[in-house]
Amino acid sequence: MVKKLFLLLVLQFFLSPAFAQEITVTASTDTSDYMIGDQIQYSLIITMNKNVYIINPFFRDSLKNIDVLGINGPTLEETETAKTVKYLCILSRFDSALVTIPAIKVEYRTKGDSTLKTILSNPVSFNVHRLDVNVKEEIKDIKPPVRLFDYFFLIYFLIGALILSILVYYFIYIKYFKKKKEEIVVKKEIKLLSHQLALKKLDELDKEQLWQKGFVKDYHSRITDIIREYFEKQFGLPALERTTTESLNLLNKHPLGVKVLDITSQFFNNADLVKFAKFTPLEIVNHEMMTQAKHIVKRTAQLDKEEEVINVNEDANV
Amino acid sequence: MDIVALNEKIKNESAFIDLLMSEIGKVIVGQKVMVERLVIGLLGNGHVLLEGVPGLAKTLAIKTLAQAMKAKFQRIQFTPDLLPADLIGTQIYNQKDGNFLIRKGPIFSNFILADEINRAPAKVQSALLEAMQERQVTIGESTFKLEEPFLVLATQNPIEQEGTYPLPEAQIDRFMLKIVITYPERAEELAIMRQNISMIETKVNPVISPEEILKARHLLTEVYIDEKIEKYILDIVFATRNPKQFGLNNLAELISYGASPRATINLALGAKAMAFIKRRGYVIPEDVRAICLDVLRHRVAVTYEAEAEEITSENVIQEILNKVVVP
């Protein structure tokens, strides 16, 4: 009997490599006790010989009332003689129970053998427990309420400091920097009629003595511009944007303008010669231009026309 | 030169204008503006594009102008099958001596009437416009200068646009003036009718030679243009490009592109020619305004929005003229 046992042990020792299991499937969890909602890390490790080929196991979305949140893998690790395929499933359960994940079926073939074989993993059991509630204790807040009193105090302090600084600044300003009360300057509007404005401008031009200083062309340009502007304001003719002939044609259609048509024609044509033809007029012509300009304005002035007034701002002390 | 002396000189030298006008007036009833612009083109050494319906004496005007000047005139009817060689000439093989002879085309004349220029394809238009610009023609390996004065009067029919090749903007810019001819007045039409049914042939006498025109062109350079007028011309041209700068905000959306520098040159030249025709030795703003529409109407392009509103380049130019301050 002893001899037989000894023989069996010897045979077991020598023949074990020949009969070593080709594939093993091990399932496990990281712990055996979870709280409701915890992530359960369920791993499936398939270790096999090099000549074994597995068909990837199928994981469903839920396993016996356990939600499968995600599956990482398979990851393959190889040594000279064996290879290992790992799956890591993240599971969760939202009810307390003692749970057993059943065995996972893995199908495989060995090299040179077309037979499809099956191996099962070990079932895994673990406990999912509830949160312990102490019913004897009073119900209380998770976090105490925020108290804002300190901030209000800071705001009151800042407002007070601001008011105080304004008062101090005002006191210093009144005492040291405030000058004597300035005289109030009121801009009084003096309304000039268009002919008054034109005559005023002509007088100013005359005082400048442009042609006497040799600026004959400028003098003729300015004097014609004053008259053209006057026509615009007095008769509503767009004289500034019109040529001499066009302006005269427009003037001819105006009842007041007709009165000065001839003199205006002479006035503009003389100016055109100086402005555009480098013509140097006699001194008497320059004098005459001013006389003609004033004559044109005076003859066409409408003293009773109140709506055609020009606002001129002039400074005046009150 | 003293302006009085210059004025006197221009007055004397431009006397032929009245003669020329009256000679043309023997045949052409009315169309004073067209004839005046033709003379401006002639004096300003620029070409003229005419737009008007058929039968408005376009051909007759230029033919009469040529007769009054003792100059050569050719009319070329532009058709879709016209070739550049039909216009400028070609080389012909001479079987007798085995050489190529040059046969000059109708472009070798003083006055060319390019009738319905937009009916010919682009290559023919290009050949003509190149000759207009360069004032010379190359046939084979030989280059020939065109005889001066050389004036091209091209016509476009504004009614029929089907099967036409509209002139590109770059080409159209080469025309100094674009004149739009309108129908004659009632009295003028009556005179035309009577003149044409009377069977009396009116003879146009040559009153001026081409040499005199060349001399007048030279004299045109002496016509005084003041700085104020130059500024006025620039204001007008710049207002077509940047209307907002001139307080014409409403035009900014209506103008696709403004007038080119060639417009500035031609506006100044045209104003000088206008002063010459008016027998003055200096330019006044009236001269600029008189010629402005004809110089600018083909150089200012309006946007689609403007076209939709039926606003033409002429409306735009007129508004600019009404806004830009005259010196």
Q: What is the DSSP string of A91-144?
A: EE-SS-EEEEEPPPEEEEEETT----EEEEPPPEEEEEEPPP--TTSPP--SSP
- Provide the phi-psi class of B61: left if phi over 0, else alpha when psi is between -120 and 50, else beta: alpha
pLDDT at A309: 46
Does B15 map to a domain? no
Q: Confirm or reject contact between B137 and chain A (CB < 8 A).
A: no
3 state SS of A76: strand
pLDDT at A17: 46
How many residues belong to chain A? 318
Query: What are the chain A neighbours of B320 within 8 Å (beta carbons)?
Result: none
Which of A245, A272, A277 lies at the smallest CB-CB distance from B224? A277
- Closest residue, chain B, to A224 (C-alpha): B327
The H or E element that residue A304 is part of is: none
The alpha carbon of residue B286 is apart from the nearest alpha carbon of chain A, in Å, by 6
Q: Do B228 and A221 touch (CB under 8 A)?
A: yes
Q: Confirm or reject contact between A276 and chain B (CB < 8 A).
A: yes
pLDDT at B1: 59
pLDDT at A2: 66
Percent above pLDDT 70 for chain B: 98
The Cα A208–Cα A199 span in angstroms is 14
Cβ count within 10 A of residue B227 = 10
> Does B188 lie in the same domain as B132?
yes
> Does B228 lie in the same domain as B174?
no
> Does B159 lie in the same domain as B233?
no
Does B69 map to a domain? yes
Q: Do A276 and B281 touch (CB under 8 A)?
A: no
The Cα A284–Cα A81 span in angstroms is 128
Mean of pLDDT values over B162-169? 75
Does B17 map to a domain? no
Contact criterion met (CB below 8 Å) for A97 and A66:
no
Q: What is the CATH number of the domain that holds B114?
A: 3.40.50.300
Q: What are the structure tokens assigned to B231, written together?
A: 């500024």
> Does B162 lie in the same domain as B263?
no
Q: What are the structure tokens assigned to A148, written together?
A: 């804002």
Q: Is A306 exposed, middle or buried (0-12, 13-18, 19+ CB in 10 A)?
A: exposed
pLDDT at B291: 92
Which of A242, A277, A279 lies at the smallest CB-CB distance from B326? A242
Last residue within a domain, chosen from B181, B198, B215: B198
Give which of A243, A265, A275, A282 to mutate to test B binding, by max B Cβ within 10 Å: A243
Please indicate whether residue B258 or residue A60 has the higher confidence score (pLDDT). Answer: B258
The Cα A139–Cα B261 span in angstroms is 91
> Does B56 lie in the same domain as B128?
yes
pLDDT at B230: 92
Which of B226, B282, B285 lies at the smallest CB-CB distance from A243? B285
- Closest residue, chain A, to B319 (C-alpha): A241
Which of B4, B226, B324 lies at the smallest CB-CB distance from A276? B226
Q: How many domains does one find in chain B?
A: 2
pLDDT at B237: 93
Q: Which residues contact A132 (CB under 8 A, 6 or more apart)?
A: none
Closest C-alpha to B103, from B119, B122, B118, B87: B87
User: For B165-289, where are the E strands, in sequence order?
Assistant: 175-180, 255-257
List alpha helices for B44-103, DSSP H: 58-69, 84-88
pLDDT at A168: 94
Q: Confirm or reject contact between B325 and chain A (CB < 8 A).
A: yes
Which of B226, B283, B324 lies at the smallest CB-CB distance from A241? B324
Does B217 map to a domain? no
pLDDT at A12: 58
ipTM reported for the complex surpasses 0.90: no
Contact criterion met (CB below 8 Å) for B229 and B284:
yes
- Closest residue, chain A, to B285 (C-alpha): A243
Does B121 map to a domain? yes
The Cα A266–Cα A268 span in angstroms is 6
pLDDT at B235: 93
Query: What are the chain A neighbours of B322 within 8 Å (beta carbons)?
Result: 238, 241
The Cα A232–Cα A195 span in angstroms is 11
User: For chain A, where are the E strands, in sequence order?
Assistant: 23-29, 33-35, 40-49, 52-55, 62-63, 66-78, 82-92, 97-101, 105-110, 117-120, 124-129, 185-193, 309-317
Contact criterion met (CB below 8 Å) for B91 and B56:
no
The Cα A278–Cα B226 span in angstroms is 8
The string of pLDDT tens digits covering residues B200-251 is 777 888 888 888 888 888 888 888 899 999 999 999 999 999 888 888 888 8
Q: What are the structure tokens assigned to B219, written together?
A: 């004299």
The string of pLDDT tens digits covering residues B188-198 is 888 888 877 87
Query: What are the chain B neighbours of A240 within 8 Å (beta carbons)?
Result: 325-326
Query: What are the chain B neighbours of A277 within 8 Å (beta carbons)?
Result: 3, 7, 224, 226, 280-282
Longest dimension (CA), chain B: 72
Q: Do A244 and B321 touch (CB under 8 A)?
A: no
Q: Do A241 and B285 touch (CB under 8 A)?
A: no
Q: Do A278 and B224 touch (CB under 8 A)?
A: yes
Q: Confirm or reject contact between B231 and chain A (CB < 8 A).
A: no
The Cα A91–Cα B300 span in angstroms is 78
> Does B173 lie in the same domain as B57?
yes
Q: Taking all residues of chain B, what is their mean pLDDT, rounded to a whole number?
A: 86
Last residue within a domain, chosen from B198, B232, B248: B198
Q: Do A279 and B3 touch (CB under 8 A)?
A: yes
The string of pLDDT tens digits covering residues B7-28 is 888 888 888 888 888 888 888 8
Does B139 map to a domain? yes
Strands B301-302 and A185-193: unpaired
Q: Confirm or reject contact between A218 and chain B (CB < 8 A).
A: no
The Cα B306–Cα B313 span in angstroms is 9
pLDDT at B268: 93
pLDDT at A281: 85
Q: Do B285 and A244 touch (CB under 8 A)?
A: yes
Q: Do B284 and A241 touch (CB under 8 A)?
A: no
Per-residue DSSP letter, B97: T
The Cα B156–Cα B159 span in angstroms is 9
The alpha carbon of residue A182 is apart from the nearest alpha carbon of chain B, in Å, by 41
> Does B254 lie in the same domain as B171?
no
Does B8 map to a domain? no
pLDDT at B167: 79
Q: Confirm or reject contact between A238 and chain B (CB < 8 A).
A: yes
Q: Do B326 and A240 touch (CB under 8 A)?
A: yes
pLDDT at A179: 63
Q: What is the CATH number of the domain that holds B278?
A: 1.10.8.80
Q: Confirm or reject contact between A270 and chain B (CB < 8 A).
A: no
The string of pLDDT tens digits covering residues B119-133 is 888 888 888 888 888
The Cα B43–Cα B154 span in angstroms is 17
Strands A124-129 and A33-35: parallel
Q: Give backbone dihedrals phi and psi of B31, rounded to 5 degrees, phi first.
A: 50, 40
Contact criterion met (CB below 8 Å) for A207 and A199:
no
B151-156 β-sheet, strand order = B73-77, B111-115, B151-156, B47-51, B175-180
Contact criterion met (CB below 8 Å) for B278 and B246:
no
Average confidence (pLDDT) per 10 residues, chain A, 318 residues: 66 51 87 88 89 80 76 85 89 86 86 84 88 80 75 85 94 77 64 85 87 87 90 84 86 82 88 86 87 87 52 41
The Cα B34–Cα B49 span in angstroms is 11
Q: Do B286 and A276 touch (CB under 8 A)?
A: no
Give which of A224, A232, A273, A276 to mutate to test B binding, by max B Cβ within 10 Å: A276
Closest C-alpha to A215, from A285, A274, A141, A172: A274
A117-120 β-sheet, strand order = A52-55, A105-110, A117-120
* Domains of chain A, start order: 19-129 (2.60.40), 190-317 (no CATH)
Mean of pLDDT values over B277-294? 90
Q: Do A245 and B326 touch (CB under 8 A)?
A: no
Q: Which residues contact B113 (CB under 8 A, 6 or more apart)?
A: B58, B59, B62, B63, B73, B74, B75, B76, B153, B154, B155
pLDDT at B234: 94
The Cα B281–Cα B222 span in angstroms is 8
pLDDT at A310: 46
Given a cut of 80, whether residue B165 has pLDDT beyond it is no
| A35-47: b (≥16 Cβ within 10 Å) or e | eeeeebebbbbbb
> Does B82 lie in the same domain as B159?
yes
The string of pLDDT tens digits covering residues A178-221 is 765 555 666 667 777 888 888 888 888 888 888 888 888 889 99
Contact criterion met (CB below 8 Å) for A251 and A260:
yes
The alpha carbon of residue B274 is apart from the nearest alpha carbon of chain A, in Å, by 15
The alpha carbon of residue A277 is apart from the nearest alpha carbon of chain B, in Å, by 6
Q: Confirm or reject contact between B267 and chain A (CB < 8 A).
A: no
Number of Cβ pairs < 8 A linking chain A and chain B: 49
> Does B247 lie in the same domain as B140?
no
Contact criterion met (CB below 8 Å) for B214 and B88:
no
Which of A221, A244, A277 lies at the smallest CB-CB distance from B282? A277
The Cα B114–Cα A253 span in angstroms is 44
Q: Confirm or reject contact between B224 and chain A (CB < 8 A).
A: yes
> Does B271 lie in the same domain as B131?
no
3 state SS of B284: coil
3 state SS of A52: strand
Q: What are the structure tokens assigned to B8, written together?
A: 């006197």
> Does B167 lie in the same domain as B234?
no
Domain extent, residue B280, equals 223-323
Contact criterion met (CB below 8 Å) for B44 and B267:
no
> Does B81 lie in the same domain as B145?
yes
Query: What are the chain B neighbours of A241 within 8 Å (beta carbons)?
Result: 321-326
